[in-house]
Amino acid sequence: MYSEKVMDHFTNPRNVGEIPNADGVGEVGNPVCGDIMKIYIKVKDNVIKDIKFKTFGCGAAIATSSMVTEMAKYKSLEEALKLSNSQVAEALGGLPPIKMHCSNLAADALHAAVNNFRKNEQVIK
């Protein structure tokens, strides 16, 4: 049912945790399946220097959270905003159709964290 990459990111998730004093935080959830993802970013010179996540959900939700953090780390904010749900799923070797909504959440949480950073940056200026 799940690819080897999905199982690897589920059993050995990367970048798990919180970033104290994160520059941006994005939280999304899907009330239908109960998955909740929170992504924290630290930004320097418009580049994501550190990224962590906390996810409550199924194996696919954890795997997509792990993968999206790997994909976004050291990318510019613009590059991070271009990451799509289909790219996350593809990087994991695909997801069963019933689990595709999980990859939607991972990209959405990343985009929310970037948008939160930009909003916070405007408040400071």
The residue annotated as part of the active site, out of 7, 19, 25, 33, is 33
Q: Report yes or no: 77 and 85 within 8 Å, Cβ to Cβ.
A: no
Q: Report yes or no: 57 and 74 within 8 Å, Cβ to Cβ.
A: no
Q: Quote the Cα angle for 54-118-46, to 5°.
A: 90
The residue annotated as part of the active site, out of 43, 72, 102, 114, is 102
Q: Report yes or no: 60 and 79 within 8 Å, Cβ to Cβ.
A: no
Residue type, 54: K
102 is a catalytic site residue: yes
Q: Quote the Cα angle for 36-72-6, to 5°.
A: 60
33 is a catalytic site residue: yes
Active-site residues, by number, are: 33, 102
